[in-house]
Structure 1
Amino acid sequence: MGKKTKTILLCLLPVQILLVKWASNYPDFIETYYSNGIYPFISKTLRILFGWIPFSMGDILYTALFIFVFRYLYKNWKSIKAKPLTFLKDIGVLLSMVYFLFHFNWGLNYHRYPIATKLGLEREYTQKELTQFIQYLTEKSNSYQFQITGDSISPVHIPYSKKEIFSMTQEGYRELSKTYPEFDYNFSSQKSSIYSIPLTYMGYGGYINPFTNEAQVNGITPRFRLPTVSGHEVGHQLGYSAEDDTNFIGFWVTSVNEDPYFKYAAYSHALGYCLSDLARKDEAKFKEMINQLNPGVQENFREISRFWAEYENPLEPVFKSIFNVFLKANNQQEGIESYNAVVGLIINFHHKYGF
């Protein structure tokens, strides 16, 4: 790459940042011309290109980039020390290209209208509404747990493979698209990340690769959680970047699936978020509600707790703090707390539409 080209790319970085900042003030523009304009074509094209490959091309891309950077630093260390400004310029050029690809391929969706606006949902709710909704979710979770296991004691173990869960997630989107065409999902590109163990140490259940548009799930997550995680990541593929939006979509698309295992996954996952919210507000009421759960449902919650506790480490808060900054820099003012904002969405959706 010539010096002139590098200089142009470096100068384009602040211009891009200002343009994205300007566009973020016009969600209607983003919604019309990007999220519902060119983005569906970009997403579908990338899914066609990479969806048929059984492993994650995005993970391979990250691995290759890491090797390239490490090799470059090793081979050029002396020249880097001799000409640090040239090295900083090269970093700026790389950041400029990555910034463009991130926002063009997916990232501008952070600045679209939230799903609450599109569905006409409020986000506020009272503690009484939360408690009543937990009661409803408890009845649903207990019912499906009993239907699946034949007793109230046994935890639910989903018998499907990850590939089958991905396929059934696609069926859920097909069902949802009958009423909401914007959730039409063809050319599936769902993968189990080859970095599932590192993802677990970082505390994540999955992620969307913004450069290849692959929906990555943490493949070692307890299986009964995978339907909602899969639904969540496909929601990202369809252009919803906000975590509260995709948490809601993950629940929604899993709940419309007629399979009882998926129904259980949806209701128990929503119940987990609501119980966590109640625990922060009224610990005594939280304990009372927990005691209403079938022992089998309680065991599934303990399974999830044991899983994350096994991989707990001192660096996890660091990773989450970095992600928190990233979310806030991308128009998610609540940062990582936006994951829990799904509670208000689900409660108000239930009030308005029922499920």
Structure 2
Amino acid sequence: MYAFLGWLGLIAFGWGAWLFIPGFRVFWLHELAPAWWQFQRMLTGWLPFSLGDLGYVAVLLWVLWQTYKCIRRWINKGWQFRIWGRWLWQMMLATCLMYGWFQLGWGFAYLLPRIQQSFHLQLKSYSRAELQDLAQWLAAATNTNYVQQKPESEANRIAYFRENVIPAAIEAYHQLHLEGATGMYRHPSIKPSLFRTALNYMGIEGYYNPFTGEAQVNTDIPPVLLPFVTCHEMAHQMGFAQEYAANFVGFLAATHAHDSLFRYSAYLDMLLYACNSLRHDGHTDDSLFLHQLWESLLPGVKRDIHEIYAYEQAYAGPADRLVMHVYDAFLKANQQRRGIHSYQQVIALLIQYKKQIKEHG
């Protein structure tokens, strides 16, 4: 009980300091949190498997075991408030422990406008003409950087991911750091997820584990997406919590990579975001514009888009819709008002970024 109350007090102190002591926010962002994130990666980076995934399995098994014991006592001894009260107490303790660990070590990052502070970009509204101009720019860049998939990327995706994608992604962030865009990325901890089959049906390409600092990637996705998804998850490790922020920083890292496949992957992924925005805007002449944009793409680019679409359709179903609803609620609870649609907000940043390129070169 004393430990539980002490932990609650620590959470309350953290929230109070965050809300009422501006200096604590600066200290958390520049000193405490980066040191904690690097320490996490130091502890888990050397492991060839995902410790966080095993932790999720252990927590699930523990919950199921405690629930089974509670139901068994209920059947044997009948209804007793003490039995269910003990179970509720255990669940509350576990939830409180995980929430505190999450919030104090990672959750505050959702409240920080990192993109605005680091890159001086704003989530401004944009016109349809600006969106079309961005889509044309991305299509041209996608064609320019097109590279055919390497045969080994299909033969053994996990080995290809570990031996090719991870080292190139680390080098990409090193290049981004040399240009002064981000801090140094140290102590890599990037793993193929252990739940790849389940992730396919849930529509998840990758995720960051705030409890262990690991970046997990679903290596079953089309290989052309692996470079950008890896850079996206690494952006979370750098403290860019919002999904649009991780998208943008991942895009910057991938487009600064020496490996042309990374540049192609980033431009292609952002092109799909721009096309989705145009498709959902509802303007009558956007269908003609999208048709013309499609016709401008190289045959190899079209094949890759067909592969991505075929992969998504093969696993589409109730599981991915349920997960999207749950994750939408999670994002909204963490100050991302647009929920799952916050990924799409990267378009507003790219339009501003494109203007910066035009103005400053």
TM-score, normalising length: structure 2: 0.88
CA 1:350–1:306 in structure 2 vs 1: closer, same or farther (change >3 Å)?
A: same
1:135 matches 2:130: no
Counterpart-to-counterpart distance in 2, 1:24 and 1:342: 28
Q: 1:21 to 1:227 in 2, by over 3 A?
A: farther
Most deviating of 111-120 and 167-176: 111-120
| 1:268 aligned residue | 268
Work out whether residues 9 and 97 of structure 1, in 8 Å CA contact, stay in contact via their aligned partners in 2: no
Tell me which residue corresponds to 1:175.
Answer: 175
Q: CA deviation at 1:158?
A: 7.1
> In 2, distance between residues paired with 1:307 and 1:102?
32
How many angstroms apart in 2 are the aligned matches of 1:21 and 1:269?
A: 40
3-state SS, counterpart of residue 132 of structure 1: helix
CA distance, structure 2, for counterparts of residue 328 and residue 350 of structure 1: 28
Shift of the 275–24 alpha-carbon distance from structure 1 to 2, 3 Å rule, reads farther
- For 2:253 and 2:195, locate their aligned partners in 1 and report how far apart those are by CA, in whole Å: 26
Cα deviation, 1:234-284, whole Å, max 9, x if unaligned, reads 111111110000011111100001221111111111111111111122233
**Residues 320-351 of structure 1, C-alpha deviation per residue, up to 9 Å, x if partnerless?**
11111110111111111001001111121121
What fraction of aligned residue pairs are identical, expressed as a percent? Answer: 28
1:66 paired residue number = 60
Structure 1 window deviating more from structure 2 (276-285 vs 193-202): it is 276-285
Evaluate the alpha carbon distance shift between residue 130 and residue 47 of structure 1 in structure 2; reply closer, same or farther with a 3 A threshold.
same
Counterpart of 1:312 (choices 313, 316, 325) is 316
Q: Secondary structure at the match of 1:315?
A: helix
Contact 1:102–1:211, Cα closer than 8 Å, also in 2:
yes
* Equivalent pairs, count: 341
SS in 2 for 1:291: helix
2:339 pairs with 1:335: yes
Q: Are 2:121 and 2:353, in contact at CA under 8 Å, matched by a contact in 1?
A: yes
1:116, CA displacement in angstroms?
Answer: 3.0
- Please give the secondary structure, in 1, of the residue aligned with 2:185: coil
Contact 1:225–1:269 (8 Å) recurs in 2: yes
Contact kept in structure 1, 2:67 and 2:87, CA below 8 Å: no
Equivalent residue letter for 1:308: E
Distance 2:330 2:92 in 1: 18
Shift in alpha-carbon separation, 1:340–1:24, aligned structure 2, 3 A: farther
* 8 Å contact from structure 1 (residues 9, 96) kept in 2: no
| 2:305 equivalent in structure 1 | 301
* Greater Cα shift, 308-317 or 29-38: 29-38
Code of the aligned partner of 1:297: V
Deviates more, 1:169-178 or 1:77-86: 77-86
Q: Structure 1, unaligned stretches of length 5 or more?
A: 150-155
Q: CA deviation at 1:121?
A: 1.3
How far is the alpha carbon of 1:63 from its aligned partner? Answer: 1.1
Which stretch shows the higher mean deviation, 101-110 or 216-225?
101-110
Q: 1:335 to 1:52 in 2, by over 3 A?
A: same
Judge conservation of contact 2:121–2:352 (CA < 8 Å) in 1.
yes
Q: Is the 8 A contact 2:176 2:182 kept in 1?
A: no
User: What pairs up with 1:20-169 in 2 under 5 angstroms?
Assistant: 20=15, 23=18, 29=23, 31-79=25-73, 81-82=79-80, 83=82, 84-123=84-123, 124-145=125-146, 148-149=147-148, 156-157=149-150, 159=152, 161-163=160-162, 164-169=164-169
* Alpha-carbon displacement from aligned partner over 1:273-311 (angstroms, at most 9, x marks no partner): 111111122233222212211121111111111111111
In structure 2, the partner of 1:291 is: 295
Structure-1 separation of matches of 2:16 and 2:343: 23
Q: Distance in 2 between matches of 1:339 and 1:244?
A: 5
Letter of the 1:130 counterpart: L
Q: Which residue matches 1:152?
A: none
Q: Is 1:16 the equivalent of 2:11?
A: yes
The AA in structure 2 aligned to 1:329 is A
CA RMSD of aligned residues (A): 2.3
Between the aligned partners of 1:22 and 1:286, the Cα distance in structure 2 is 50
- Structure 2: where are the runs of 5+ without partners? 154-159
Q: How far 1:89 sits from its partner (Å)?
A: 2.2
Q: Specify the code of the residue in structure 1 equivalent to 2:290.
A: F
* 3-state SS of paired residue (1:215): strand
**Matched letter for residue 199 of structure 1:** L
What corresponds to 2:156 in structure 1? none
Deviation at 1:117, TM superposition (A): 3.9
Write the distance in 2 (CA, Å) between the matches of 1:41 and 1:158: 39
